[in-house]
Structure 1
Amino acid sequence: MIKLRGTARRADADDSEKDGGVDLDDHEWGPAGIHDHITDAMADPDPVRLAPDLVCLRFEVMKVRSALGAVRQLLDTGRIRRGDTLVDSSSGIYALALALACHRYGMRCHIVGSATVEETLGVQLEILGATLERMPPSSDLKLDQARRVDRITRLLAEHPRYHWMRQYHDPIHYHGYAEVAAGLHRRLPAGPVTLVGGIGTGASTGAMAEGLRAAGREVLSIGIQPFGSRTFGAEHTEDPDMIIAGIGSSIEFANVRHELYHRIHWVGFSYARAGAIGLLRDGAIFAGLSSGAAYLVSRWERCREPGRTVVFLAPDTGHRYVAAAYAGHRDVPAIDGLAPLAVRQPDELAPPWSVADWTGPLAERVRLARAGGAA
């Protein structure tokens, strides 16, 4: 018999008054390999070798790992109790990840989302027991996000026991990826690694790079941002077709650690789309737009610095993007001839693809601007 983490029990009225966290090791199951909750199956990625030196780390819903690690840490430290309500702003996969983590550990879940939350996600949240509060439609992404944050602030004032997960600001979301890094280290061949992925909150790429370094690996961290994203200084640019906001935003993601990244790529919708279709054609992997951008960047990085194992993150599947990205695939150009524009200053950034070393002048300009100096 092996011991697995405790089974989920949905929160009800009686649960809310029980104290303490959850005993995560209170059930025994067998035989080995049987999961006691679907999140265990979803949290671990599948490494797929596309070439001798190129590996896709494919997740079904990557942020399940982040949400599980954060909720577990909050329970262990007594900051929340079973039956409490966890709340956050999300219109994508973090909403589903948090709802699944709450189902696992017997918590309540409230999501403040935009009017654009797709029906598939909304139905899943409802059946999982989470509540979804949609904000009024807005064509301004920054205004939409500001409205959601304002709504959460009012919710916390009305319900002091609610806990705001703050996925874009709390470094607690780094915890869950330590196990991913350990597993990846065991499965990769010896030698240096180039880790490529969308930055978002910094938790996935940052935490995995740190974990690999702690295991003794030499790691080159390559981050990906969309145009218009503020965190790495591209807020003055625009991609009118941008629908990959999960890896960057018009608001600052405060839990991103800039010093963890060696190079940043800004990839627009058209090239991310080409990368996603190329990934399906080349590797039979059906993934989202940020995965397509990561595949595109990985191919370029692989040629730039040979002799390293290049690992790129594929955070979710492609089902959400069929209409927006995969339809009309016959008209999308092959990715073989695509290359980035190398830039050194913020005003040089331009779609559809730019790249900059994050130890050069552009990084220094962004740091000065963030510190209140001259931009």
Structure 2
Amino acid sequence: MYRSFAEKLAEPDLIDLGNGIHVLRFEVMKVTSVRAAVRDLLDREVVRPGQTVVDSSSGIYGHALALVCREFGLKCHIFASVAVDAAIRTQLKYLGATYTQVPSSGDDGLQHDQETRVRLVHTYLEENPDAYWMQQYHDDVHYIGYESVANTLVKELGSTGVTLVGGVGTGASTSAMSRYLRASGNDVRVAGIQPFGSRSFGSEAIPLDGFIIAGIGSGIRFANIDYTAYDDIHWINFDVSAAGCRHLLSTTGVFAGLSAGAGWQVARHIRRQEPDGGPVVFLAADPGHRYVDRVFPPDGPLVQDPEYRPRTISELSRMTGPWSTMHWARRPYDVQDDLPVVPVVPSSPRNAA
């Protein structure tokens, strides 16, 4: 028996979709990282019951933090992007969290939105010095929740030949999973997914074509990404991801969001390239409800989705839409700080900055 709803949500379902492809389906993926992070911070007395924790979110992190704070007796304030819809705002309200929704910049700018939200966090901390910043973009305390998920993969699929596919985001999913899988002796191959317009892997010069996919990309430097974790990177636009969502639903029954649609596209590409290869596992961070109007229009025609294929590149300057891929080869990378630097406040011994 689960002791709380958050505890249940922290455990994903591993589903065999056939042809050697599996999905790790989460209801709210960030609960996995947030619940373990908050418990660790409480255990080390970095935060205490009744204290306010604060962070920035484009959706599921804010929901996860509010849910976990409700469980452990903490207060919560979220600086929410324009992508946070009425369903999430309603849950924040009833979970007892407060939020400030940052108005649109007018150009759906990933860069501007994340930078603005983090600056507002700093202002909030100045005005509320007892509040604690969770630093989802910077602190790899968010890694520890994925250790049990990695252990499940090893138990179910063995310790050799696994390829993990998923959004890079803050790094606290694919970077974390690679750390724990490799520590267990599994030299897992990791394929990270980025939207165009993200700073993390050098696509910021290409305009972001769909704000709603921004949760897997970065508008500022994220300190908890382990760039050396990734064997391959795939830059994928909205149309490719949306087509993947529709194909995933119609062929497997899995109803999931844009990052899962992108993961399904990458997983199928890997299987086409290596039909006899080992298991391919992609992450589905959330269900598809937030994306119905743009991805699954209920009154739209059922059309054959185009068969997209990636363009393989050897250098970032050759990147182009709708889908480019590059053998990253676990190399380091430095994000160019041409924007004003948002200071990072070290918050725990696990901080990766």
Compute the TM-score of the two structures, normalised by the length of structure 1.
0.85
Pair 329,204 (structure 1): closer, same or farther in 2 beyond 3 Å = farther
Using the TM superposition, give the Cα deviation of residue 333 of structure 1 relative to its aligned residue in structure 2, in angstroms: 4.0
The counterpart of 2:73, out of the listed 106, 116, 128, is 106
Distance 1:267 1:332 in 2: 21
**Which residue in the other structure is 1:195 paired with?**
164
Pair 354,151 (structure 1): closer, same or farther in 2 beyond 3 Å = same
**Which residue in the other structure is 2:240 paired with?**
271
Using the TM superposition, give the Cα deviation of residue 242 of structure 1 relative to its aligned residue in structure 2, in angstroms: 4.3
**Which residue in the other structure is 2:305 paired with?**
334
Contact 1:55 1:311 in 2 (8 A): yes
Distance 1:251 1:214 in 2: 29
Using the TM superposition, give the Cα deviation of residue 196 of structure 1 relative to its aligned residue in structure 2, in angstroms: 0.3
Query: Is 1:241 matched up with 2:200?
Result: no
What letter is aligned with 1:209? Answer: S
Distance 1:332 1:69 in 2: 42
What letter is aligned with 2:76? Answer: C
The counterpart of 1:208, out of the listed 151, 159, 177, is 177
Q: Deviations over 1:23-45 (max 9, x none)?
A: xxxxxxxxxxx111001111111
The counterpart of 1:67, out of the listed 34, 39, 43, is 34
Pair 281,247 (structure 1): closer, same or farther in 2 beyond 3 Å = same
Any stretches of 5+ residues in structure 2 without a counterpart?
Answer: 339-353
Pair 370,91 (structure 1): closer, same or farther in 2 beyond 3 Å = closer
**Which residue in the other structure is 1:250 paired with?**
219
What letter is aligned with 1:321? Answer: Y
Using the TM superposition, give the Cα deviation of residue 331 of structure 1 relative to its aligned residue in structure 2, in angstroms: 5.9
Distance 2:83 2:164 in 1: 32
Greater C-alpha Rg: 1
Using the TM superposition, give the Cα deviation of residue 128 of structure 1 relative to its aligned residue in structure 2, in angstroms: 0.2
Tell me, what secondary structure is at the counterpart of 2:103? coil
Query: 1 or 2 for the larger relative contact order (CA 8 Å, sep ≥6)?
Result: 2
**Which residue in the other structure is 1:21 paired with?**
none
Q: How does 1:310-321 map to 2 (within 5 A)?
A: 310-321=280-291
Pair 171,291 (structure 1): closer, same or farther in 2 beyond 3 Å = same
Is the deviation greater in 203-212 or in 61-70?
203-212
**Which residue in the other structure is 2:277 paired with?**
307
Tell me, what secondary structure is at the counterpart of 1:156? helix
**Which residue in the other structure is 1:131 paired with?**
98
**Which residue in the other structure is 2:15 paired with?**
48
**Which residue in the other structure is 1:87 paired with?**
54
Using the TM superposition, give the Cα deviation of residue 329 of structure 1 relative to its aligned residue in structure 2, in angstroms: 5.8
Distance 1:169 1:294 in 2: 24
Tell me, what secondary structure is at the counterpart of 1:278? helix
CA RMSD in angstroms, aligned pairs only: 1.9
Tell me, what secondary structure is at the counterpart of 1:223? strand
Distance 2:337 2:98 in 1: 38
Using the TM superposition, give the Cα deviation of residue 259 of structure 1 relative to its aligned residue in structure 2, in angstroms: 0.2
What letter is aligned with 2:44? Answer: T
The counterpart of 2:147, out of the listed 173, 178, 186, is 178
Any stretches of 5+ residues in structure 1 without a counterpart?
Answer: 1-33
Pair 155,190 (structure 1): closer, same or farther in 2 beyond 3 Å = closer
**Which residue in the other structure is 2:257 paired with?**
288
Contact 2:30 2:61 in 1 (8 A): yes
Is the deviation greater in 131-140 or in 255-264?
131-140
Distance 1:52 1:233 in 2: 33
Paired-residue identity, %? 45
Using the TM superposition, give the Cα deviation of residue 370 of structure 1 relative to its aligned residue in structure 2, in angstroms: 4.5
**Which residue in the other structure is 2:293 paired with?**
323
Pair 292,243 (structure 1): closer, same or farther in 2 beyond 3 Å = same
> How many residues get paired?
334
Q: Deviations over 1:194-229 (max 9, x none)?
A: 000011011111111222222222210110000000
The counterpart of 1:76, out of the listed 35, 43, 47, is 43
Q: Deviations over 1:58-110 (max 9, x none)?
A: 01000000111110111111110011101001131000000011011110000
Distance 1:257 1:54 in 2: 25
Tell me, what secondary structure is at the counterpart of 2:46? coil
Contact 1:173 1:203 in 2 (8 A): yes
Using the TM superposition, give the Cα deviation of residue 302 of structure 1 relative to its aligned residue in structure 2, in angstroms: 1.8
Using the TM superposition, give the Cα deviation of residue 243 of structure 1 relative to its aligned residue in structure 2, in angstroms: 2.1
